[in-house]
C-alpha cells in the first residue's frame, strides 16, 4: 500500500465531514484512511460509524492531545507514505494524489504548496525549493502538504511533550539528519487555519517551545551561526552586500 491518510479530529463534525468527502473523491485509490477521534461529543463519533465501511481504521476515545492522536494513527498505519490530513483539511483537487504518485516518489519527504483557509479567505503558502535551514529555523512546511515515509516517521514520532511545535521539530530533525526532501510544484491541500497554532494567544507558547527544541537539537554556537544565516536569508537582496557576517 502506497499511502496512509491519517485524520485527527476533536469536536469538529463539519470539518471531519469535509475531509472524509475530500479523501473519498480522490481518483487515486492505493491508500487507506484512518481516523483518530479524541472522544468527541458533537456527533463526530456517530459520523464515523456511518463511514466505518469505507475506513481502514477508526476510533473515538480520549487522548492526550493532537500529537498523541497523530502518533496513534502512525502506530496502526500500513502505507509506505503518511499524509496527516486533519479534520477541516481537504485535498486541493480530485486528482491531487494521482498526480503526486504518478512520479513514483522515493524521497523521505515529498512536499508541495498549500492554501490556508480562514473565514472563507484562502492565503497561498508557497514553500521554498530547495528547503533551507534558515527557512526551517523560523518557519516550517505544512504536514497537510507533505508525504512522509512511514519508516522515517517511526524513527521520530511526534514529541508529545510539545503542544504546538512537534511537527516543526520533526521536519527540523529530518533536515539536520540530511533526510531527502523533494519539492513538487503542486498545490496539495487546503487546510483549516483556525486551529490553535494560528491563534495569536498561543504564539508565545509556540516561540517558547521552538526555542526549547533548538536548545535540545543544536549547540549555542550552531544556533548563533544559523541565526545569522537566517537574518541574511530574509533580508532584502539590496542590503545583503552591505552586511558582513561571521560565525
Q: Dig out the grid coordinates for 113 from the structure.
A: 504548496
Rounded CA separation 166/206 (Å): 10
Q: At what angle do helices 203-217 and 166-176 cross, to 10 degrees?
A: 30
State mean pLDDT over 69-94.
98
Q: Dig out the grid coordinates for 186 from the structure.
A: 503542486
Average pLDDT of the chain to the nearest whole number: 89
Rounded CA separation 157/155 (Å): 6
Q: Which of 38-42, 75-79, 140-144, 204-208 has the lowest mean pLDDT?
A: 204-208
Provide the strand spans (E) within 119-211. Answer: 121-125, 146-149, 181-192
pLDDT class of 88 with cuts at 50, 70, 90? very high
Percent of the chain scoring above 70 in pLDDT: 86
Q: Long-range contacts of range 115-120, CB-CB < 8 Å, 24 or more positions apart?
A: 115/187, 115/189, 115/190, 115/191, 116/190, 116/191, 116/193, 116/198, 117/190, 117/191, 117/192, 117/193, 118/192, 118/193, 118/194, 118/198
Q: CA torsion 220→226→229→235, rounded to 10°?
A: -90
Taking the model in full, what pTM does it have?
A: 0.89
pLDDT class of 211 with cuts at 50, 70, 90? confident
pLDDT class of 49 with cuts at 50, 70, 90? very high
Q: Which of 29-38, 204-213, 216-225, 238-247 has the lowest mean pLDDT?
A: 238-247
Q: How far is CA 190 from CA 12, 19, 116, 122, 212, in A?
A: 16, 10, 6, 8, 30
Query: Residue 63 CB: number of other CB atoms within 10 A?
Result: 19
- CB of 117 closer than 8 Å to CB of 187: no
**Structure letter (DSSP) for residue 156:** S
pLDDT score, position 236: 52
Rounded CA separation 228/222 (Å): 10
Rounded CA separation 22/26 (Å): 7
Nearest to 170 by CA among 184, 196, 185, 152: 152
pLDDT score, position 201: 62
Give Rg (Cα) of the chain. Answer: 19
Amino acid at each position: 500500500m502506497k499511502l496512509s491518510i491519517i485524520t485527527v479530529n476533536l469536536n469538529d463534525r463539519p470539518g471531519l465531514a469535509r475531509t472524509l468527502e475530500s479523501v473519498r473523491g480522490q481518483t487515486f485509490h492505493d491508500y487507506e484512511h484512518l481516523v483518530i477521534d479524541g472522544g468527541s461529543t458533537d456527533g463526530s463519533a456517530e459520523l464515523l460509524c456511518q463511514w466505518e465501511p469505507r475506513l481502514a481504521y477508526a476510533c473515538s476515545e480520549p487522548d492526550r492531545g493532537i500529537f498523541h492522536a497523530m502518533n496513534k494513527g502512525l502506530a496502526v498505519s500500513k502505507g509506505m507514505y503518511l499524509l496527516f490530513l486533519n479534520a477541516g483539511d481537504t485535498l486541493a483537487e480530485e486528482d491531487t494524489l494521482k498526480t503526486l504518485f504518478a512520479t513514483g516518489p522515493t524521497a523521505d519527504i515529498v512536499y508541495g504548496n498549500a492554501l490556508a483557509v480562514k473565514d472563507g479567505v484562502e492565503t497561498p503558502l508557497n514553500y521554498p525549493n530547495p528547503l533551507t535551514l534558515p527557512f526551517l529555523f523560523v518557519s516550517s512546511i505544512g504536514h497537510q502538504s507533505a508525504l512522509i515515509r512511514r519508516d522515517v516517521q517511526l524513527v521520530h514520532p511526534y514529541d508529545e511533550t510539545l503542544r504546538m511545535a512537534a511537527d516543526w521539530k520533526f521536519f527540523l530533525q529530518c533536515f539536520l539528519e540530511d533526510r531527502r526532501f523533494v519539492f513538487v510544484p503542486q498545490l496539495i491541500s487546503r487546510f483549516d487555519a483556525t486551529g490553535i497554532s494560528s491563534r495569536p494567544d498561543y504564539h508565545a507558547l509556540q516561540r517558547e517551545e521552538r526555542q526549547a527544541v533548538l536548545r535540545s537539537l543544536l549547540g549555542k554556537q550552531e544556533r548563533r551561526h544559523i541565526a545569522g544565516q537566517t537574518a541574511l536569508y530574509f533580508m532584502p537582496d539590496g542590503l545583503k552586500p552591505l552586511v558582513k557576517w561571521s560565525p
